[in-house]
A and B are shown apart, each in its own frame.
Chain A
Amino acid sequence: MRSFGSAEKNNNLSTSNSDPMKRFISKTIVTILVPTLPFLVMELLIEKQKEGFFEEKALEKRYAQDANDYAWIETLDNGPINILAGSSSVRYGLSCKELNNINPDNSSYVNLAMDARGPIQTYFILKNLGLDSVRTIYFGLDPWIYTKRYYRHRNQYLYLDFTTWECFLYSREHDKSAFVKRYKSFFRYLFLPQPAQKNRNITTPDDYGSSALQRTAKNFDDLSDWFQIEKYGWSGLQFEYLRKIEKLCEENKINFHLFIPPKRSDYCEYYLEKYKAIHEGYTSKIAQTGIDSSIFGRFDIFNDHVDSTLFAEAFHLNKKGQIEFSRLFYELSLKQSKRFTTDYLWFAE
């Protein structure tokens, strides 16, 4: 029979453990420190320099060239210009041709919205464009655009806006190369003054930058959580630059209006159920910037229709929906008079 004594009989443990133990601990620490030291140094440097990354001058270096994609706007000579700006829901949601047809005066609409585009990039495009003939800017609001979670769809320079922990989580969950991109951006900030010069695009695109969605947009294919505010937080920069767009308009005597592009009814229900608190946080963030522009539109504006026939998927209108919304947008834009407040109704009561 296997036998063994009780613990009391063997309670005189060897005290000569300390030397191999010290060796083990010191070697473990060194083994871990060797690869993590450069990482720690980089993170410390980034933390120290953080203020400088997001000064307007530094950001402008990253984005100024993007205005060259819209040089064609400066070549338009048929009267005042109305700019539609925002992200994909504006790009696919409004047709400039349709708006130009409806519009009785001599002004024309152009669309400089793009997939996942946020206020930062929009601001620098506007700033570097000749705004002399611009009469009005309509800016479409989509809440998720203002999250850090959305940085994957942006200039990788914004990865510098993450804390180390956020970047670690982000690299695990969304972008394995998050740290590589962050360090590349840091070196660019330090050593490369400006991105390469982009050619000026003077060819006016069909439908003046609007686009009808023929297939599912790549960034939005399910109802997954795009906010993840508890993990990554809001992007303070995006809110700041939304306000800067408003100021830029004031300085150039341009009308500035906010609007809400529509969403399909299933998403509206999902949003109302899941993101109520986040939505309140979002609107109060906008309010905190001091924005005081007029606002119109609702997420559920098409919910009375059989809205599945108007949407390509939950967030983007299809060709038919684009025409419908362009007409509705025009009517609403004539009537708009409400100022932005946190109480503004994004959904019908």
Chain B
Amino acid sequence: MLFNSLDFAIFLPIVFILYWFISSKNIKHQNLLIVVASYVFYGWWDWRFLSLIIFSTIVDYTVGQKLKIAESQSRRKALLWTSILVNLGFLGFFKYYNFFLDNFISAFSFFGADIKANSLNIILPVGISFYTFQTLSYTIDVYRRKLEPTKDFIAFSAFVSFFPQLVAGPIERATNLLPQFCTKRNFDYSTAVNGMRQILWGLFKKIVIADNCAELANHIFSNSIDYSGITLVLGAVFFTFQIYADFSGYSDIAIGTSRLFGFNLMRNFAFPYFSRDIAEFWRRWHISLSTWFRDYLYIPLGGSRGGTLMKVRNTFIIFIVSGFWHGANWTFVIWGALNAVYFLPLLLTNKNRNNLDIVAHSRSLPTFKELLSILTTFSLTVFAWIFFRAENLGHALQYASDILQHPSSFLSFSVYLRYKTIIVLLGAFMIIEWLGREGEYALEKLVLRWKSPVRYTFYYSIAYAILWFGGKEQQFIYFQF
């Protein structure tokens, strides 16, 4: 079920009413309702893959219980690896089987060996990368004794399958989300209103910004050989906004929906395109995944301790793995590696934690230096997204090199004019994001400064823009990851 669908618009109020009015007397009933609703939500796409979620839930719940009583380190390790192998086994099979097979065949044929093996026609279960990482966080935290395993199977099932963030995150930590399923939820008016506001902003991002940018970016990337340099740059910029508005829009709707049910999910985006360097960008982009990799991969590998070589190795590992997490294609690996190359100079000169505060905090405008840093970081990001979006490496390289051809096209006013509507929309969107950058999402604090009539006019304008400018419905990009 898509958040931007009529199905969800009907589903959400029904679950909300059942949750607060029918099952509100008993927390177990509420959790059970969440599990059932989440399975319906997921099964709406393909009920067969529910079995994977249920299997993962049973395995991790059992491993958690056994870890509680296991004393010897070797047994604990064995249990941890059981969970890792089962979860990553599913992920590896459904997501990476064909990729590895094709690459093995290519590698062997390069050396003259003719291997015959058929690729499988595998459907990638929606959200598998997200819920796999979420359940793994539980097992690892229990193994590290950071978290006491829960006895409550229903609460644990609800944690694994919680529908607002099941298919595209934020990837929650068991230490944050699981306790919320075991404590009573009181309906809070201002939290719910905040949730509604965040949902509205998320829908605007998705339907107005992402879907419109998607149409243009898809067309330009699909026909890139026909376009001049400036159109290719615009295509990459449109994709840059598409992926941000799509994914952060999804996160906003997920977090906003969770608020309606009394849950507090972690923040996933913090205005990444206003970052002053790449390190700051990665602290602000897909925070739940970056911190997951930091805590469960980077730090165990030694993090930024140790010698220079170790730092370089760990940085490349984490960025490449992060790229590969997005999909079984070399383009994602190169995208990850490119970001590692951007990040390394900052790490090696100890400047990776220079920009921890909000840019231009308590000022309306950035300084010239800040503006320059933001634009430089943005440009580097746009360039990296070309590799992320391209069909394959050849396409990415061709696209990037074609940008530099016909530099005179950059002065062609008619090209900008052709895309004037989306350029105006993006301008308005970025202004709102800039003004609201001190909140958790753009509208959170911004609109509260305004008087009621202005605020409601603004809400209605957004709703109107969703109806008027809404692009052709597209699936959320991160569903495929």
Chain B residues with Cβ under 8 A from A11's Cβ? 25-28, 184
| Distance A176 CA – B471 CA, assembled complex (angstroms) | 10
Is A31 an interface residue, CB under 8 A from the partner?
A: yes
In the complex, which of the residues B184, B185, B192, B470 contacts A172, with contact meaning CB atoms closer than 8 Å? Answer: B470
Instruction: Say which one of B175-183, B316-324, B441-449 lies at the interface with A.
Output: B175-183
Chain B residues with Cβ under 8 A from A104's Cβ? none
Chain B residues with Cβ under 8 A from A23's Cβ? 189
How close is B1's CB to chain A, nearest CB, in angstroms? 18
Is A173 an interface residue, CB under 8 A from the partner?
A: yes
In the complex, which of the residues A1, A24, A173 contacts B189, with contact meaning CB atoms closer than 8 Å? Answer: A24
How close is B96's CB to chain A, nearest CB, in angstroms? 33
Docked complex: A6-39 residues within 8 A CB-CB of B: 6-8, 10-15, 17, 20-21, 23-24, 27-28, 31, 34-35
B179 touches A6 (CB 8 A): no
A24 touches B187 (CB 8 A): yes
B184 touches A31 (CB 8 A): no
Closest A residue to B178 using CB positions: A4
Chain A residues with Cβ under 8 A from B30's Cβ? 13
Residues 143-157 of chain B, each 1 if its beta carbon lies under 8 Å from chain A, else 0: 001111011101100
Is B368 an interface residue, CB under 8 A from the partner?
A: no
B459 touches A24 (CB 8 A): no
Is B20 an interface residue, CB under 8 A from the partner?
A: yes
| Distance A17 CA – B152 CA, assembled complex (angstroms) | 25
| Distance A21 CA – B184 CA, assembled complex (angstroms) | 16
| Distance A293 CA – B154 CA, assembled complex (angstroms) | 71
In the complex, which of the residues B146, B152, B186 contacts A14, with contact meaning CB atoms closer than 8 Å? Answer: B186
B24 touches A35 (CB 8 A): no
Is B478 an interface residue, CB under 8 A from the partner?
A: no
Chain A residues with Cβ under 8 A from B45's Cβ? none
A21 touches B148 (CB 8 A): no
Interface size class of B (residues with CB under 8 A): 35 or more
In the complex, which of the residues A7, A17, A28, A31 contacts B456, with contact meaning CB atoms closer than 8 Å? Answer: A31
Chain B residues with Cβ under 8 A from A24's Cβ? 187, 189, 192-193
In the complex, which of the residues B456, B464, B472 contacts A173, with contact meaning CB atoms closer than 8 Å? Answer: B472
A4 touches B148 (CB 8 A): yes
Closest A residue to B145 using CB positions: A1
| Distance A172 CA – B459 CA, assembled complex (angstroms) | 20
Is A5 an interface residue, CB under 8 A from the partner?
A: yes
Docked complex: A261-293 residues within 8 A CB-CB of B: none
Residues 232-253 of chain A, each 1 if its beta carbon lies under 8 Å from chain B, else 0: 0000000000000000000000
Is A3 an interface residue, CB under 8 A from the partner?
A: yes
Is B468 an interface residue, CB under 8 A from the partner?
A: yes
A172 touches B175 (CB 8 A): no
Chain B residues with Cβ under 8 A from A218's Cβ? none
Is A335 an interface residue, CB under 8 A from the partner?
A: no
Is B370 an interface residue, CB under 8 A from the partner?
A: no
Q: What count of chain A residues pass the 8 Å CB interface test?
A: 28
CB contact under 8 A between A21 and B147, given known A7-B152, A13-B25, A172-B470? no
| Distance A24 CA – B189 CA, assembled complex (angstroms) | 6
In the complex, which of the residues B24, B148, B182, B468 contacts A176, with contact meaning CB atoms closer than 8 Å? Answer: B468
Is A215 an interface residue, CB under 8 A from the partner?
A: no
Is A2 an interface residue, CB under 8 A from the partner?
A: yes
In the complex, which of the residues B20, B182, B460 contacts A7, with contact meaning CB atoms closer than 8 Å? Answer: B182
B182 touches A20 (CB 8 A): no
A17 touches B20 (CB 8 A): yes
Docked complex: A140-171 residues within 8 A CB-CB of B: 171
B469 touches A3 (CB 8 A): no
Chain B residues with Cβ under 8 A from A1's Cβ? 145-148
| Distance A171 CA – B472 CA, assembled complex (angstroms) | 11
Closest B residue to A16 using CB positions: B186
CB contact under 8 A between A28 and B20, given known A1-B146, A4-B183, A20-B189? no
Docked complex: B423-481 residues within 8 A CB-CB of A: 456, 459-460, 463-464, 467-470, 472-473
Is B248 an interface residue, CB under 8 A from the partner?
A: no
Chain A residues with Cβ under 8 A from B459's Cβ? 31
How close is A219's CB to chain B, nearest CB, in angstroms? 19
Chain A residues with Cβ under 8 A from B467's Cβ? 171
B24 touches A13 (CB 8 A): yes
Chain A residues with Cβ under 8 A from B224's Cβ? none
Is B31 an interface residue, CB under 8 A from the partner?
A: yes
How close is B375's CB to chain A, nearest CB, in angstroms? 33
Residues 364-382 of chain B, each 1 if its beta carbon lies under 8 Å from chain A, else 0: 0000000000000000000
Closest A residue to B148 using CB positions: A3
CB contact under 8 A between A7 and B192, given known A13-B186, A31-B456? no
How close is B146's CB to chain A, nearest CB, in angstroms? 6
**4 closest Cβ pairs, A-B complex:** A20-B189, A17-B187, A4-B179, A3-B148
- Using a CB–CB cutoff of 8 Å, the interface residues on chain A facing chain B are 1-8, 10-15, 17, 20-21, 23-24, 27-28, 31, 34-35, 171-173, 176
19 residue pairs A–B, Cβ–Cβ below 8 Å: A2-B148, A2-B179, A4-B183, A6-B150, A7-B31, A7-B182, A8-B28, A10-B183, A13-B26, A13-B27, A13-B30, A21-B187, A24-B187, A28-B196, A31-B459, A35-B460, A172-B470, A173-B472, A176-B468
- Using a CB–CB cutoff of 8 Å, the interface residues on chain B facing chain A are 20, 24-28, 30-31, 145-148, 150-152, 154-155, 175, 178-179, 181-189, 192-193, 196, 456, 459-460, 463-464, 467-470, 472-473
13 further A-B contacts with Cβ under 8 Å, apart from A2-B175, A11-B28, A27-B193, are A4-B179, A5-B182, A7-B28, A7-B152, A7-B154, A10-B27, A11-B25, A12-B184, A14-B184, A17-B187, A20-B187, A24-B187, A171-B467
